Amino acid sequence: MDNRLICSQCGYIGIPNEINKGSGGVELILWLFFIIPGLIYSVWRRSSKPRVCPSCHSQSLVPIASPVGRDLVAKQGKTVDQAKAEAQKMIDVKNKKDRRLLLILCILVVGIIFLKIFFITN
Ligand SMILES: [Zn+2]
């Protein structure tokens, strides 16, 4: 599915934010006091993630290439290709951040393993 979207409310062009349904506070309380309902609530919160506009939090995002998307892009005086390129830049930045985060996690895990080995052998 093409992730390059335009918001029909504010005109934002780019990629959506995915949010969890429900409340993190309720989830925490359920986990602290009732394990099974907490588990069910956690699964439900992550079962389908609504995609919202990062700018106005609206859920009315449409693909740039769709007929409605094309109209919205034209209203901003841009071509569909320009809008797609704009959105693609954001995807590239996000992928770069994800790779950096993965690298940091790997370094942390390797560091923890080395520390464990060091403290076990000494
Ligand atoms: Zn918006």
Every domain of the chain and the residues it spans: 5-16+53-121
Centroid of ligand 1 to alpha carbon of 59 (angstroms): 8
CA–centroid distance, residue 9 to ligand 1 (Å)? 5
CA distance 60 to 6: 9
**Region for 22 from its dihedrals, namely left if φ exceeds 0, alpha if ψ lies in -120 to 50, beta otherwise:** left
| Gap from CA of 12 to ligand 1 centroid (Å) | 5
This model's pTM is above 0.75: no
Closest CA to 8 of 49, 87, 47, 66: 66
β-bridge mates for residue 72, sequence order: none
Q: Which residues are in the CB-under-5-Å shell of ion ligand 1?
A: 7, 9-10, 12, 53, 55-56, 58
The tens-digit pLDDT sequence of the chain (122 residues) is 677 999 999 999 999 988 888 888 889 988 888 888 889 999 998 888 889 999 999 999 999 999 999 999 999 999 999 999 999 998 999 899 999 999 999 999 999 999 988 887 76
Report whether 58 contacts 52 (CB < 8 A).
yes
